[in-house]
Amino acid sequence: MKFFRRFIFPAVYGLIVYFTVRLLHDTEAGEHFWRRAVLQNAIEIGCSIVTGYLGVYMFERLFRYFDKHWPLQFRYQNMVRELLILVICNLLLVNLILTPMAAFTDDGLSWADFTDICTIPTLYAIVYYGIARTRTYMMAYVDNRLLLEKLTTDHLQTELKFLKAQYHPHFLFNALNTIYFQMDDDIDGAKHSIEKFSELLRYQLYDQHQQVPVSSEIEYLQSFIDLQKIRSSDRLQLNISFDKALNGQQVYPLLFLPFVENAFKFIGGDYRMDISAGLDGDSIRFTVENSVPQLKQPVSKNSGIGLENLRRRLNLLYPGKHTLAITYSENKFTAQLSLRYE
């Protein structure tokens, strides 16, 4: 294949151009070029073959120049620029060789001859460009797509890290505030709470893989609830229901906590809180309900660092694979999240 492309194809290319021009000219003039003198045909064929070798060599040199000096991008502006340069160089070449050949080997150079010599080689040069550069531009297109996907992935990872950086101080503030109030009345209890707090931090700092078993999330939530119960009112009516079937299903970490944290923050009224999690087909359903002071909205749908960050994380981690419903009435706030696990 390499031998054919280097030594055979240029001659074939030159002959195709020559016979196309001759066929068009003879059809218009009513002549038959094979009836002419053999030497005359041999000179024209020889000049056409030389033009083919020089043309293909020129094309390849131009392609290497394009790749070296201009960034390889799949853009129409690049293709138009390259094609324009290639056509101009090809016109210079064919008019340097074929136009004088037609003037001296035929019955003179007419405008029809000049038009054919300029048009036919130009059309074949465009075809050659399209075939030769298709693979190059397809590779450039694939590389650009891969680069775009990489940039998108990097952007999403950066945004997730930023959201987590916002979230951790929010959690730390609430947890430390709980221990602060406990230290006034119960030092031993505060020490126990610090141990619980250390376990929570350890999970956040060391056990955050890409995905974790949902059972780990439930254990984490249980520790958080135990910590929050310390500062809660004695009137708290807490009902927890976690389906035992929730075990090895993989989820991204720290998606359930904002609901529980929000419930403890805004609970009021008759101080009732219901937390449940279970399987619903191929999805995990997590629900938190808490009573609120009557005639007081607990939180709007577009406020709060925890819930706002949660929405953004869900859009990044579970695009099209989650539903989030937040409703509230005069005395109850309900949040329900459904995640489709892999």
Per-residue pLDDT, 290 = 93
pLDDT at position 298, please?
47
Distance between CA atoms of residues 257 and 218, nearest Å: 10
**257/199: higher pLDDT:** 257
Q: Token digits for 270? A: 């008759």
Rounded to whole angstroms, the Cα distance separating 333 from 273 reads 10
Q: Are 284 and 246 in contact (CB under 8 A)?
A: yes
Question: What residues contact 15, with CB distance under 8 A and at least 6 apart?
Answer: 45, 48, 49, 52
The DSSP element (H or E) to which 212 belongs, if any, is strand 212-213
Hey, CA dihedral for 223, 225, 231, 233, is it positive or negative? negative
Ordered domains of the chain (ranges, CATH):
2-149 (no CATH), 186-340 (3.30.565.10)
> Given pLDDT bands bounded at 50, 70 and 90, which one contains residue 303?
very low
Strands of 270-331, DSSP E:
272-280, 283-291, 322-328
pLDDT of residue 86: 93
Cα 173 to Cα 147, 168, 177, 178, 207, distances in angstroms? 40, 9, 6, 9, 21
Q: Quick: pLDDT tens for 63-115.
A: 888 888 776 665 677 788 889 999 999 999 999 998 888 888 766 778 888 88
* Tens digit of each residue's pLDDT (9 = 90 or more) over 157-212: 656 665 565 555 666 776 777 777 777 777 887 787 888 778 777 777 654 557 88
Q: What is the pTM of this model?
A: 0.51
* CB-neighbour burial class of residue 113 (10 A; exposed 0-12, middle 13-18, buried 19+): buried
Mean predicted lDDT score pLDDT of the chain: 82
- Which residues neighbour 243 within 8 Å (Cβ) at sequence distance 6 or greater? 277, 278, 279
Are 97 and 43 contacting, i.e. CB atoms less than 8 angstroms apart?
A: no
Is residue 176 within 8 Å of residue 198, measured between CB atoms? Answer: no
Per-residue pLDDT tens over the stretch 229-247 = 877 778 899 999 999 999 8
Q: Are 324 and 315 in contact (CB under 8 A)?
A: no
* The CA-based dihedral angle spanning residues 49, 52, 57, 63, taken in that order and rounded to the nearest 10 degrees: -170
pLDDT, tens only, 34-71: 777 788 888 889 999 999 999 999 999 998 888 887 76
Query: Which of 2-16, 91-105, 141-155, 282-296 has the weakest average pLDDT?
Result: 141-155
Are 117 and 21 in contact by the 8 Å Cβ rule? The answer is yes
What single-letter amino acid sits at 114?
F
